[in-house]
C-alpha cells in the first residue's frame, strides 16, 4: 500500500482510546499514515494526540458521529484517500447464556456487530474509490465458543460471517477485507467484562446459582490467566498493522500461538473432543470441591 510522507493517506481506527486500538493507531502513524483515531471522550483523545494521529469523537452506534467522520474524510483539505478502516471497537461480556440479560445481548450486538456494519456502510464509497481495505478485529471466540463466553462469541461469530460476505462482495471492486483474530491480549478490556459478570452473579436466581455458581466463580480467574499469558497491545498492533498494509494480505491473521492452535483444532476435531479440551481448561479454575457437570 503506497503512502507519501508529504500527503499521508488516511486510516480510521475505531476503539482507539486504550489497548489494541491505541497501540494500532500509534503503529500505523509510525508507518506514515494519518490516523483518524476514534475515541469516546475528549480526555482519551488528548492522551492519544501525537504526530500522525488525529483523535475524533466516535461512538460507532451514534449515527451523527458516523456522519461527522464521513464529512471529515470527504472534506479532507488535502484530498487524501482513505486507505483502510480498522474496525476495532468492541464490548466484552462473560456469563452463561441463560442468565445474560437480553438487553445485554442487544447492547453487545449493537456495538460488536451493527456498529461495525453501520460504519463500514458509511465509509465504503470512500474505500471503493481508493481501493482500500477493511480490517475487522474478531477474536479466538469468533471461531471457538465455550461455556461462559456464549454472548461475546456469538457477536464475534457474526462479525466473521459479515467479513466473509464483504470479502466476496468487494473483491471485484478492489477492496480487500481481512479478519484479525486475537487471543489473550494484555489490555483493560478483560476487566470490563468481569465487572459485568459480578453484577450478573448477584442477579442469578437460587436455581441458576446451583447450575452456574461454580462457572461464574471460575470465569474471572480463567480470563485473568488467559490475559496474563497473552501478548502485549503493541505486539498485537503490529499484526493488525500488517493486516492493514500487506500488499497481498491473507484473509485472516491470528495473534498468539495458542489462538492459532485452537482455531486450527476447531476446524478438524470433533465437537465433543473440542468441548472436552475447553472444559478441561476451564475446570482448573473452579472452586475447590465444587461439583462439575461433564458434557454428554
- Tell me how many degrees the CA angle 133-138-142 measures, rounded to the nearest 5: 135
CA pair distance 258, 242, nearest whole angstrom: 20
Please say whether the dihedral angle defined by the alpha carbons of residues 29, 31, 32 and 38, taken in this order, is positive or negative. Answer: negative
How many C-alpha atoms does 295 have within 13 Å on its Cβ side?
14
Catalytic residue list contains 253 = no
In contact, 21 and 89? CB cutoff 8 Å: yes
Q: List all residues 6 or more positions away from 205 whose beta carbon is below 8 Å from its beta carbon.
A: none
The one catalytic residue in 152, 212, 253, 286 is 152
CA pair distance 97, 104, nearest whole angstrom: 11
Percentage helix, strand, coil for the chain under 3-state DSSP, each rounded to 5: 55, 15, 30
End-to-end CA distance of the chain: 50
The label of the residue with cell 474471572 reads 220
Residues designated as active site:
152
Amino acid at each position: 500500500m503506497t503512502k507519501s510522507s508529504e500527503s499521508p493517506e488516511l486510516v480510521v481506527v475505531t476503539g482507539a482510546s486504550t489497548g489494541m486500538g491505541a497501540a494500532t493507531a500509534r503503529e500505523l502513524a509510525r508507518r506514515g499514515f494519518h490516523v483518524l483515531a476514534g475515541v469516546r471522550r475528549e480526555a482519551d483523545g488528548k492522551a492519544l494526540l501525537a504526530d500522525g494521529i488525529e483523535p475524533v469523537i466516535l461512538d460507532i452506534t451514534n449515527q451523527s458521529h458516523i456522519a461527522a467522520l464521513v464529512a471529515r474524510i470527504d472534506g479532507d483539505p488535502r484530498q487524501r484517500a482513505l486507505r483502510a478502516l480498522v474496525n476495532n471497537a468492541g464490548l466484552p461480556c462473560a456469563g452463561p447464556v441463560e442468565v445474560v440479560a437480553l438487553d445485554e445481548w442487544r447492547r453487545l450486538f449493537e456495538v460488536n456487530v451493527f456498529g461495525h456494519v453501520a460504519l463500514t456502510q458509511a465509509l465504503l464509497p470512500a474505500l471503493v474509490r481508493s481501493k482500500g481495505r477493511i480490517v475487522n478485529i474478531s477474536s479466538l471466540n469468533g471461531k471457538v465458543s465455550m461455556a461462559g463466553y456464549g454472548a461475546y462469541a456469538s457477536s464475534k461469530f457474526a462479525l466473521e460471517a459479515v467479513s466473509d460476505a464483504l470479502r466476496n462482495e468487494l473483491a471485484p471492486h478492489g477492496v480487500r477485507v481481512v479478519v484479525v483474530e486475537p487471543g489473550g491480549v494484555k489490555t483493560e478490556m478483560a476487566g470490563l467484562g468481569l465487572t459485568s459478570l459480578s453484577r450478573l452473579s448477584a442477579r442469578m436466581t437460587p436455581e441458576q446459582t446451583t447450575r452456574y455458581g461454580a462457572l461464574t466463580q471460575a470465569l474471572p480467574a480463567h480470563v485473568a490467566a488467559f490475559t496474563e499469558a497473552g501478548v502485549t497491545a503493541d505486539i498485537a498492533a503490529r499484526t493488525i498493522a500488517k493486516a492493514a498494509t500487506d500488499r497481498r494480505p491473507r484473509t485472516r491473521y491470528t495473534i498468539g500461538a495458542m489462538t492459532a492452535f485452537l482455531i486450527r483444532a476447531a476446524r478438524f476435531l470433533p465437537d465433543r473432543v473440542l468441548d472436552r479440551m475447553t472444559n478441561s481448561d476451564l475446570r482448573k479454575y473452579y472452586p475447590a470441591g465444587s461439583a462439575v457437570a461433564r458434557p454428554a
